[in-house]
Chain A
Amino acid sequence: MGKWNVKFKMKDNVPNNQHSDFILSMIAMVCSFLVAGIFILLVGQSPVAAYIALFQGAFGSVSSIANTLCKSVPLMFTGIAVAFAMKGGLLNVGAEGQLYIGALASVVLALKLPNLPGFILLPVSILFGCLGGMVWGGIAGFLKAKRGVNEVIVTLMMNYIAILFTSYLVNGPFKAEGMVPQTEVVPTGAAFPKLIPRTQLTVTLFLAILVVILVYLFLQKTSWGYEIRAVGENSSAAEAGGIHITKTTILTMAISGGIAALAGISESLGTYGRFIDNFSPSFGFTGIAIAVLGKGNPFGTIITAILFGAMDAGSMRMNRVAGISASMVNVIQGLVILFIAAPQIYRILLAGRRKS
């Protein structure tokens, strides 16, 4: 495991570091836009026009803002899910699979119990979906704790199993009438209420913000959260302090999986109202970038998720108005990760400047 954890481990409780960490994230953002601007220049377009279009597409009207927020909700869930595991010293690259399992579990339950009143059906569906994600994440935690199997490999592999398994189910047993591989629409009682009419934005936005804050409080203010952070910082010392490493590792991965599942649940019970085959444009993997950028800080996670959501939402307009492929957004997001993955470079540059 070593290498991955070291690379992505977040230094917690070092207040003087937190400030510079946030600045580093911002510098990475700005650099990515600058470098992507060079690419846009190379293809003979104006980066300024492209970015204006991108911004308008993301924040230009009520419906575009709604679209931005809608796209950022699953990213908040996966971002905080991955960040949570990182605090425990684990790299969960399986949020993608966990959200598929969670989404299908919640939809199937909602479809099986259509007669329950909404105020019961929705919470029960959510919980069942989370349970699915917890089991999916918990398996990796169990293998890690009991057998020392690298959680990165297990979670990565389980992504394929989850995506293909759910794909099979919506192409077979749970397939609705018609050509598209998807389930029936869930009963209205099981769907998240819309926040703004005629948009896809639902109350899941508040749920996401609430979960992000609760996760933060859980880690920082409770004894269980302390155990998870202690294991993430130095498991040998945590063990000597009486913390049960096996239990904590399984719990950490299970909770991380449960939170990731909420990304899928919010999409299926909120945005679409049903489970659609292959619905996630890599929310789980983007969540890793958000966790790294947001440093597990609630404010940072929410802001980063909205920025990434904005880029996705604005990319269509950038394509239409400025003639830049929507994939340019993926380039920018990739660059952000690249710049963040090498924070050491900034530190060296900063140190050099201080000397001279």
Chain B
Amino acid sequence: MNVYHVELKEITKRFSGFIANDHINLSVKRGEIHSLLGENGAGKTTLMKILLGLYSADEGSLWIDGKEVHITNPRIAFQLGIGMVHQHFMLVNNLSVLENIILGQEPGNVSLDMKKSYKIVQELSTKYNFALDLNAKVEDLSVGMKQRVEILKILYRGADIIILDEPTAVLTPQEADKLMKILHDMKQQGKTIIFITHKLNETMEVADRITVLRNGKNVITVNKEDTTPEELAKFMVGRDICFTIEKSKKKRGKPILSIENVKLLPQASDTVSLSVHEGEIVGIAGVEGNGQRELEEIILGLRKYKNGTISLLGVNINSMTTKVRKDLGIGYIPSDRHKRAMLSNFTIADNYLLGYHFRAPFSSKGILKKREVEKHSKDMIECFQIKVSGLHQSIGSLSGGNQQKVIVSREVSQNPHLIIAAQPTRGLDIGAIEYIHNQLLRLRDEGKAILLISAELTEILKLSDRIGVLYKGELMELKETDEYAEGEIGLLMAGRKAGIGTNG
């Protein structure tokens, strides 16, 4: 029988002025893992929200098992067996795993039959090898475990079409591997899985068929066997992408930043010491929330620290304000772009001023030199190929990639000695990521010291000369990139040193 389990035909969705989905077709077979691949803004999530009844399509039709359906709200989607695991978990932290799963669909008539629900959920959990403790509180679980709770919640409600929106973005490599296994198990049990991602390696690992979207349009649907990552990248971006970067070997120069015995998290039992030298990129790997935010803010003086010393070019900067530190030569690309780096409603030109509003040539005796600022902004926009409609456009109206380019160009333009790049490519598409990576390498070759803090392991491996791993506020290891054994960094990210016990 040649009937698809899920079929979306000619789906078009317009938001005031732009088309998010332009006549998109998607056909998913029963029991396959179908990867929906595309850059940010390609229309993947919009398309899935239409399938879930969260948006209504302007044109096109939805078909389940060969019958046309009208999904006008999420409840109808549920009845049709469609469930989605969102990027942000929707769990009640202080309830148990079991309570979270049955929430909204508790067995029993008037009284809650916990015994019965425990039995039902436990059966499901074993069937798919979830290894969950149903009585544990959700707040005590790791991110990977929470995600499993979300998946189990959907299975409990009888979904057989399961949509996962960028599920690995929050996971360690090991957790991601486990997720892939779970997806395989679910497939064996006959579930249909739609896997939204922009990561090529995951797609190649887990998908049976792949549909690529670009700028709201279908590019192609292929079987995994018939394609390569290089080809997929080309489909996603629309041009050739260079995967490997030629790094010139250079002798590292004198130390620029030295951190000695600084405690990142109050619960950490050990302090952190590291140094970044001229002409090198030191990558800090680790799952988010293990002290990365603290590290960047402590270096910039945005967060107080009691112990230890930080020195820049050999000068102790412990008692210096953020302004003085930046003036000494720190360029700062914060991990939280919207919170820390942008004045969203200000113009692009005014955003180029931030942090340099008292410096010549932009300011003289406190009077702003508008012409100088605009000239500088124009140069940067041209040099970094930033897509803008004008200097007086607000930065908030740019795409994420272009916002980040403004910030990166601002922070590197004043010739800093040290650049703190925290999650510099988060949320950007492949083209912009490639550009930022090349810029960081160019700066390294110019002799700048770069501290790269990133949750993207591939990024760390690609760019860093030396790599450190943060876990629970402690630096697990710091050594040359090629001294790491395969998989070692992943284990360190999960808090395990090689050669030591593997339970936990």
Q: How far is A91 from B373 in the complex, measured between Cα atoms in Å?
A: 30
Partner of B339, one of A224, A234, A241, A242: A234
Q: List, sorted by A's number, 22 A–B pairs whose CB atoms are closer than 8 Å.
A: A12-B345, A12-B346, A13-B345, A14-B345, A14-B394, A15-B392, A222-B367, A223-B363, A223-B367, A224-B366, A229-B346, A230-B354, A236-B336, A236-B339, A239-B322, A240-B334, A240-B340, A240-B341, A242-B325, A242-B326, A243-B323, A244-B323
A13 and B394 contact, CB distance less than 8 A: yes
B71 to chain A, nearest CB (A): 24
Is A151 an interface residue, CB under 8 A from the partner?
no
- Band of interface residues on A: 20 to 34
Interface residue total, chain B, C-beta cutoff 8 A: 35
Query: Considering only CB atoms, which chain A residue lies closest to B356 in the complex?
Result: A241
Query: Considering only CB atoms, which chain B residue lies closest to A231 in the complex?
Result: B343
Mark contacts of A227-269 with chain B using CB atoms, 8 A cut-off: 1 yes-contact digit, 0 otherwise.
1011001101111111110000000000000000000000000
B343 and A233 contact, CB distance less than 8 A: yes
B366 and A234 contact, CB distance less than 8 A: no
Please give the residue numbers on chain A whose beta carbons come within 8 Å of chain B beta carbons, in ascending order. 11-15, 221-224, 226-227, 229-230, 233-234, 236-244, 351
Q: How far is A241 from B350 in the complex, measured between Cα atoms in Å?
A: 12
Q: How far is A226 from B370 in the complex, measured between Cα atoms in Å?
A: 12
For A240, list chain B residues within 8 Å (CB). 300, 302, 322, 332, 334, 340-341, 355
A233 and B334 contact, CB distance less than 8 A: no
B437 to chain A, nearest CB (A): 23
Q: How far is A230 from B395 in the complex, measured between Cα atoms in Å?
A: 13
For A12, list chain B residues within 8 Å (CB). 345-346
| CB-CB under 8 A for A242 and B355, given A222-B366, A226-B368 | yes
**Which B313-355 residues have a C-beta within 8 angstroms of A?**
321-327, 332, 334, 336, 339-347, 350, 353-355
A242 and B343 contact, CB distance less than 8 A: no
**Which B351-389 residues have a C-beta within 8 angstroms of A?**
353-355, 357-358, 363, 366-368, 370
For A15, list chain B residues within 8 Å (CB). 392
Q: How far is A14 from B395 in the complex, measured between Cα atoms in Å?
A: 10
Query: Considering only CB atoms, which chain A residue lies closest to B332 in the complex?
Result: A240
For A224, list chain B residues within 8 Å (CB). 366
For B368, list chain A residues within 8 Å (CB). 221-223, 226
Q: How far is A351 from B17 in the complex, measured between Cα atoms in Å?
A: 12
A230 and B322 contact, CB distance less than 8 A: no
B304 to chain A, nearest CB (A): 13
A237 and B357 contact, CB distance less than 8 A: no
For B332, list chain A residues within 8 Å (CB). 240
Since A12-B346, A241-B357, A244-B323 are in contact, a sample of 20 more A-B pairs with Cβ atoms closer than 8 Å, ordered by chain A residue number, is: A11-B345, A13-B346, A222-B367, A223-B368, A226-B353, A230-B343, A230-B346, A234-B343, A236-B340, A237-B343, A240-B300, A240-B334, A240-B341, A240-B355, A241-B326, A242-B323, A242-B325, A242-B327, A242-B355, A244-B321
Query: Max chain B CB contacts within 10 Å: which of A11, A15, A241?
Result: A241
B354 and A241 contact, CB distance less than 8 A: yes
A346 to chain B, nearest CB (A): 17
Q: How far is A60 from B358 in the complex, measured between Cα atoms in Å?
A: 50
A221 and B323 contact, CB distance less than 8 A: no
Partner of A237, one of B16, B342, B358: B342
Q: How far is A233 from B392 in the complex, measured between Cα atoms in Å?
A: 16
B327 and A237 contact, CB distance less than 8 A: no
Q: How far is A63 from B342 in the complex, measured between Cα atoms in Å?
A: 51
Q: How far is A237 from B358 in the complex, measured between Cα atoms in Å?
A: 16
A20 to chain B, nearest CB (A): 14
B350 and A237 contact, CB distance less than 8 A: no
Query: Considering only CB atoms, which chain B residue lies closest to A218 in the complex?
Result: B366
Query: Considering only CB atoms, which chain A residue lies closest to B348 in the complex?
Result: A13
Q: How far is A244 from B321 in the complex, measured between Cα atoms in Å?
A: 8
Query: Considering only CB atoms, which chain B residue lies closest to A10 in the complex?
Result: B345
Query: Considering only CB atoms, which chain A residue lies closest to B353 in the complex?
Result: A226
A204 to chain B, nearest CB (A): 28
Q: How far is A229 from B351 in the complex, measured between Cα atoms in Å?
A: 12
A237 and B339 contact, CB distance less than 8 A: yes
Q: How far is A15 from B350 in the complex, measured between Cα atoms in Å?
A: 13
Q: How far is A211 from B118 in the complex, measured between Cα atoms in Å?
A: 72
B330 to chain A, nearest CB (A): 10
